[in-house]
Amino acid sequence: MGQQEVYLHRFKHVQTKLDKAKGCTLGTLKLPNGWQCATIERPYLDNKVNVSSIPSGKYKVLPFSGNRHKDVYEVLDVPGRSAILIHVANWSFQVEGCIAVGREHIILNNLDAVAASNVTFDEFKDQLIKCKLQHGFTLQINNDY
């Protein structure tokens, strides 16, 4: 497990009835070497399973491969939750309590989104290797909204 922490700084929480996710939480994920990317999650709805982002805090993250998502990362030890992944998605309604990464925050089809999620996720994995964190890391999530 790497000694260095990865930080997720959440800066915007949007609640809306325009999409089935009922809004989103936007943030920036930053690695120890300075590389960063945009994130999008579900809005925080009291940590409810499959519909809420996870609470701020410090979590262990390890590589994960399942039937639906291969070669992603799993956020562990979230109170009352499991199967919280960092993976590819553009909109918050495409994640079920997980964290999606992208190059930047954009408006796509009138909804908050992240751009170039597939490419950015590959870059994220490459940068984790450069930081020697590909086998696991600590994720510190802070809210500033």
Q: pLDDT tens digits, residue range 107-143?
A: 998 889 999 999 999 999 999 999 999 999 999 999 9
pLDDT tens sequence across 75-97: 999 999 999 999 999 999 999 99
Query: Where along the chain do its domains lie?
Result: 5-143
Res. 19: pLDDT tops 70: no
Q: Considering Cα of 94, then 96, then 102, then 108, what sign does the dihedral take?
A: positive
The tokens for 135 are: 């086998």
CB 38 within 8 A of CB 105: yes
Q: Residue 10: phi, psi to the nearest 5?
A: -90, 130
**Distance separating alpha carbons of residues 87 and 120, to the nearest angstrom:** 10
Q: What is the pLDDT of residue 2?
A: 43
Q: What is the C-alpha to C-alpha distance for residues 129 and 145, in angstroms, rounded to an integer?
A: 31
Q: Average pLDDT in the 30-39 region?
A: 98
Name the band, by pLDDT with cuts 50, 70 and 90, for residue 14: confident
Residue 69 has pLDDT above 50, yes or no: yes
Which whole-number Å values give the CA distances from 43 to 29, 31, 95, in the listed order? Answer: 17, 23, 11
Read off the pLDDT of each residue in 17-25 and give the average, rounded to a whole number: 76
